Structure 1
Amino acid sequence: MTVLAQAAPQSQDVPDAARENLVDLIQRLSEPPEPAPIAMTPQTPGWLVLGGFFLVLVSWLLWRWLDLRRRNAYRRAALAELERAKSDPAQIAEILRRTALAAYPREQVAGLSGSPWLEFLDNCGAGVLFGETVGQELLVAPYRKDAPASVDLFNAAEQWVRKHRVEKGSPSRARFRRRQEAVT
């Protein structure tokens, strides 16, 4: 132990220049260099493939939404006309007929009248039924003048316009598409 005690200099033996304190040493430190900026572009091709797939997916979804919106334009027009003709059963009957002609082939719809017309509406309406009173009101509406429509007739017509379904392979879809392409 005496050897170590002799080897360590005593504070009295150290010159003044070597007696710097810790604060002076910290102030002499230099700032570290700034790191290189991180690139924000993907570094691997997998991210580019994923980004391309996402872009294609979003484009396809947008195209499908616009196509569906275009195909259902006749529904929106029919609903707007129904709102204007809320209390006129003759206009409601006419709107239903025009909506059916827009959605289904003319050969299937144009010749229907009476109970076959009501059966067609019931079959295509996805649960909307034109029962005894509503159906009879719909059938005699074009021949009556100034007869107010019942709320049931308006509600049934509105639900039918909203819910009727056209089969995927239906010729009316192709006809409707050709008609829209001719317009644009």
Structure 2
Amino acid sequence: MSAATALQLRDVHLPAAPGWWPLPPGWWLVIGACALVALLVWAWRARRHRLRRRWQQHFATALAAATTPAEEVATMAELLRRAARLRKPGAELLQGAEWLQFLDAPESPAFSCGEGRLLLDGGYRREVDAAAVARLRPLARDRFVQLMTGLRT
């Protein structure tokens, strides 16, 4: 036997396919970026929620100091005017229908055509219906929070 025939040639062997773990560095960057974005979104939403609750509490505290329904309406009007000044300087100077239109949400004219009309003269009346004030309270609170935070509730 010659030396050429004694040597057995074998086929090319491919290495084993790489496993999925440990991940390549690029995947770690993608995972880290996604985690950072999720953390930022969570923190932003939590801050927005705390801010909304803080302004709702401020509104409730201010109304708790009022002793009569007329005082409640006057307090709501004052809080809304202050919030309007913050959101759009000069808006607190609006009067009558223009003021109510400013307070209206685009989807519902609840101030100019609904319960919000009580804000025009309710603070100056001797007698104000307590049920009407109770219907106005959530409407005014939501608009106050919207104006103070710049967000829809």
TM-based fold match above 0.5: yes
- The reply on whether 1:64 has 2:44 as its aligned counterpart is yes
Where do 5+ consecutive residues of structure 1 fail to align?
1-41, 167-171, 175-184
Correspondence for 1:78 among 46, 50, 59:
59
What is residue 55 of structure 1 aligned with on the other side? 35
- Aligned residue pairs, count: 125
User: How far does residue 125 in structure 1 lie from its aligned partner after superposition?
Assistant: 6.7
RMSD of equivalent CA atoms: 3.7
Q: Name the counterpart of 1:119.
A: 101
**Is contact 1:125-1:163 (8 Å) kept?**
no
**TM-score (norm. length: structure 2):** 0.56
Identity %: 18
Q: Distance in 2 between matches of 1:163 and 1:125?
A: 12
- Which range moves more in the overlay, 155-164 or 53-62? 155-164
Moved over 6 A (4+): none
How far, CA to CA, are the matches of 1:84 and 1:126 in structure 2?
32
Distance in 2 separating the partners of 1:100 and 1:126: 21
> Which structure has the larger Rg?
1
Structure-1 separation of matches of 2:64 and 2:135 = 11
Q: Deviations over 1:101-135 (max 9, x none)?
A: 225233122x123332222222x475251356745
86, 89, 114: which one aligns with 1:106: 89
Query: Following the alignment from structure 2 to structure 1, what is the Cα–Cα distance between the partners of residues 64 and 110?
Result: 20
Match for residue 13 of structure 1?
none
- Report what 2:111 is aligned to: 130
